[in-house]
C-alpha cells in the first residue's frame, strides 16, 4: 500500500487509539496539532509524531501532508473539515461527521470540486464483518430484509460539563451514539428511509438523553431504534429477512455475527476481522480511497446525516451555534 503523510487535528482520547492504528498500518505519524500545544507535545512523546504544530495554519499549509484526521468534538468538525479541504487535503473525520446535513453537503461540494476524498471514521462502514454481511444480504440468503432493530445504551457519568451532555459541544445521544445505530440500519437498507416517527427525553442541559426512533423507506423496510446515554443496553443489531435473521452484538466494532435461518432453525456463525483493529480498517479504506480516487461510503454518511437532521428537526432541537 502506498504510504501517506497524515496530520492529526485534536489529540484527545480517540486520537490516542487512532495513533496506535496509524503506527500499525503506516509505521509513522507525520504531524499533529491541538489547540493547546502542550497536549500535542505530550501526545508526540507517547506516539512518535514527526511534526507538532503550534497553530492550525502551519499544519494545513504543510505541503507534505496528504490526509487530515479530524478528532475534535462534533461542534468543531465542520470548521476543521472545510479548512482542510480548502487547503487541498483529503479528510477522514470522526463521527458524527458534522452536526447537520447542510454542513455536510457544503463539505461534500468542496471535496468534489477539488477531487478530494472526504470520509467519515464510522467503523461500521469499514469493518470486514460488515462487508461480508452485506454480500450475504445482497445474495438473498436471508430473503428480503424487512425489519432492522438496533439499540445503543451507555450510562455516561452524570456531568453536565462533559461533551456528551454539553449543548455547546453538540452533545446528546443522537449525534454521539445514534449515529452508529443509524449507520448500522442504513448499511443494510435498500434505500434511505423517507418516513420517520420519533420522541425523546431531554437531559437538563437541553441535549437529548434518550429517544425512540421508527423509520420506513420506500421499499417498505422498517427500522426501530432505542438510544440512551443514562442506561446501559446491549449494543445489539438484528437484521431480519423473510428467510432468516442476522444478530450482531457490540455492533459498532463487531467481528462476529450469527445468522439463523428460519426455514429449519439452523445457524451459521460468521467471523471476520478483529474488533481491536477497528480504526486500522478505517485508515486502510481511507488510503485505498485516496489511491483509487474513489470513495465508497459517503452515500451512507450523507443519508445518515440527512436522517439525524430530520430527527432533530422533528424534536425542535437546535444547537446554539447552528
Ligand atoms: N472517545 C471515543 O471512544 C470515541 C470513539 C469514536 C469516535 N469518537 C469521536 O471522536 C471525536 C473526539 O472525541 P474524543 O472522545 O477523543 O474527545 P476528547 O478526548 O475530548 O478530545 C477532543 C480533542 O479536540 C480538541 N478540541 C476540543 N474542542 C476543540 C475546538 N473547538 N477546536 C479545536 N480543537 C478542539 C481538544 O483539545 P483540548 O483538550 O486542548 O481542549 C481535544 O484534544 C468525537 O467526534 C467523538 O464522537 C470518540
pLDDT value, residue 3: 86
Q: Which residues in the chain come in under a pLDDT of 50? A: none
Distance CA 10, CA 16 (A): 10
The best mutation among 11, 17, 72, 126 to test binding of ligand 1, ranked by most ligand atoms within 8 Å of the C-beta, falls on 72
Q: What is the CATH number of domain 6-121?
A: 3.40.50.720
CATH of domain 125-280+303-315: 3.30.360.10
Give residue ranges with CB within 6 A of ligand 1: 10-15, 34-36, 39, 71-74, 76, 94-95, 163, 176
Residue 1: predicted pLDDT:
72
Nearest to 158 by CA among 227, 231, 76: 231
| Extents of the domains making up the chain | 6-121, 125-280+303-315
CA 39 – ligand 1 centroid, Å: 12
Distances (CA, A) of 47 to 18, 30, 40, 93: 10, 11, 10, 20
pLDDT, position 111: 98
Ligand 1 atom at shortest distance from the alpha carbon of 169: 28
Residue 184: its pLDDT value, please? 98
pLDDT value at position 35? 97
Coil, helix or strand for 66?
coil
Q: Which helix (H) or strand (E) covers residue 282, if one does?
A: helix 278-292
Total count of residues recorded for the chain: 322
Ligand 1 center–CA 73 separation, angstroms = 4
CA of residue 312 to ligand 1 center, whole Å: 22
| pLDDT on residue 227 | 98
Is 229 exposed, middle or buried (CB count within 10 Å of its CB: 0-12, 13-18, 19+)? buried
Distance between CA atoms of residues 116 and 140, nearest Å = 35
Distance of alpha carbon 167 from alpha carbon 185, whole angstroms: 26
What is the residue with the minimal CA distance to atom 39 of ligand 1? 12
What's the confidence (pLDDT) of residue 48?
A: 93
What pLDDT does residue 229 have? 96
| Angle of the 101-113 helix axis to the 298-315 helix axis, nearest 10 | 150
Identify the pLDDT of residue 249: 98
Amino acid at each position: 500500500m502506498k504510504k501517506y503523510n497524515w496530520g492529526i487535528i485534536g489529540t484527545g482520547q480517540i486520537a490516542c487509539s487512532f495513533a496506535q492504528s496509524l503506527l500499525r498500518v503506516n509505521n509513522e505519524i507525520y504531524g499533529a496539532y491541538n489547540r493547546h500545544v502542550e497536549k500535542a507535545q505530550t501526545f508526540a512523546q507517547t506516539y512518535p509524531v514527526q511534526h507538532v504544530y503550534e497553530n492550525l495554519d502551519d499544519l494545513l499549509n504543510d505541503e507534505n501532508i496528504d490526509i487530515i484526521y479530524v478528532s475534535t468534538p462534533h461542534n468543531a468538525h465542520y470548521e476543521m473539515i472545510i479548512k482542510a479541504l480548502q487547503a487541498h487535503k483529503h479528510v477522514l473525520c470522526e463521527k458524527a461527521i458534522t452536526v447537520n446535513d447542510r454542513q455536510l453537503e457544503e463539505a461534500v461540494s468542496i471535496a468534489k470540486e477539488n477531487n478530494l476524498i472526504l470520509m467519515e471514521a464510522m467503523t461500521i462502514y469499514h469493518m470486514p464483518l460488515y462487508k461480508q454481511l452485506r454480500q450475504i444480504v445482497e445474495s438473498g440468503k436471508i430473503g428480503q430484509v424487512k425489519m432492522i432493530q438496533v439499540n445503543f445504551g451507555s450510562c455516561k457519568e452524570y456531568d453536565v460539563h462533559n461533551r456528551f451532555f454539553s449543548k455547546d459541544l453538540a452533545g446528546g445521544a443522537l449525534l454521539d451514539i445514534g449515529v452508529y445505530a443509524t449507520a448500522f440500519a442504513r448499511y443494510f437498507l435498500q434505500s434511505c428511509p423517507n418516513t420517520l416517527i420519533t420522541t425523546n427525553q431531554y437531559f437538563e442541559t437541553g441535549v437529548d438523553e434518550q429517544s425512540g426512533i421508527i423509520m420506513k423507506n420506500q421499499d417498505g423496510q422498517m427500522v426501530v431504534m432505542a438510544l440512551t446515554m443514562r442506561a446501559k443496553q446491549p449494543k445489539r443489531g438484528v437484521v431480519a429477512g423473510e428467510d432468516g435473521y442476522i444478530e450482531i452484538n457490540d455492533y459498532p466494532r463487531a467481528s462476529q455475527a450469527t445468522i439463523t435461518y428460519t426455514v429449519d432453525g439452523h445457524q451459521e456463525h460468521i467471523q471476520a476481522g478483529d474488533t481491536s483493529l477497528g480504526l486500522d480498517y478505517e485508515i486502510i479504506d481511507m488510503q485505498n480511497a485516496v489511491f483509487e480516487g474513489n470513495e465508497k461510503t459517503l452515500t451512507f454518511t450523507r443519508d445518515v446525516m440527512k436522517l439525524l437532521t430530520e430527527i432533530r428537526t422533528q424534536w425542535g432541537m437546535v444547537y446554539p451555534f447552528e
